[in-house]
Amino acid sequence: MMKIFALALLILSIALAAETAPDALKYTPAGEMVLPAEYREWVFLSSGLGMTYGPAAAKARQGGPLFDNVFVNPVSYRAFLKTGKWPNGTAFLLDIRSSESHGSINKDGHFQTTLSGLEAEVKDEHGEWKFYDFPTANGSPKANGKLLPATASCYSCHSKNTAVENTFVQFYPMLLEVAQRMGTVKKDYVP
């Protein structure tokens, strides 16, 4: 009986831990980021069309404009709702999609099609912001995320132009309101 009781308690603690633990990120020994398998089930922050910079922008010039979908890990999202800040271990996944304009009943406007790029911004365990690029081919991610060097343009652009910490909260309507209420918008942020 004591053993069954102990087992029940153990299962219970595991269930509770799974509910409250951070969405732990994984890295290879070489420091590459492992793609979180279920990032498409993370919390969606917003999407834009034709806003893409960097390598993806070059692709866009060849085809139609690209959509960018931004997802954040659920534990960090809930922490932000309470504090207006991103905890260490936060990850943003930028899921970049090709667009089409004529298909099915759609005669105008644009809808999303295949994956054309995948990037991550991470606040690591020391509170440092880092960027990773996941190579894609034929609409699928093909390898782990490569750490981008500190000289990559994303570092300076995010550092200079973001509304909250190193993140473009000005483009996430529901979170900007939280940050304003919590007083975590950067003092030098210009809308």
* Cβ atoms 119, 133 nearer than 8 A: yes
Residue of 58, 143, 150, 174 interacting with a second copy (CB under 8 A): 174
Q: Which is closer to a second copy, CB of 18 or CB of 30? A: 18
| Tokens coding 1 | 């009986």
DSSP 180: H
Of the residues 83, 127, 161, 181, which one makes contact with a second copy according to CB under 8 A: 161
Q: How far is CA 98 from the centre of its chain?
A: 18
Q: Which of 102, 118, 122 is nearest to 110 (CA)?
A: 102
In terms of CB distance, is 21 or 105 closer to a second copy?
105
- Nearest C-alpha neighbor of 42 from the set 12, 76, 13, 87: 76
- The least CB distance from residue 98 to a second copy, in Å, is 9
Q: Tell me how far, at minimum, the Cβ of 49 lies from a second copy, in Å.
A: 5
Q: Tokens standing for 130?
A: 């880092």
Nearer to a second copy, 28 or 161 (CB): 161
> Which residues lie across from 95 on neighbouring strands?
69, 118
Count of chain residues binding a second copy (CB under 8 A)? 50
Beta strands 136-137 and 43-49 are unpaired
Q: Which of residues 93-152 bind a second copy (CB under 8 A)?
A: 97, 103-106, 108-115, 139
Beta bridge partners of 92: 72, 121
Which of 49, 79, 152, 182 is the binder for a second copy (CB under 8 A)?
49
- Residues at the interface with a second copy (CB under 8 A): 1, 4-5, 8-9, 11-12, 15-16, 19, 40-41, 43-44, 46-52, 65, 67, 69, 71, 74, 77, 97, 103-106, 108-115, 139, 157, 161, 163, 168, 170-171, 173-174, 191
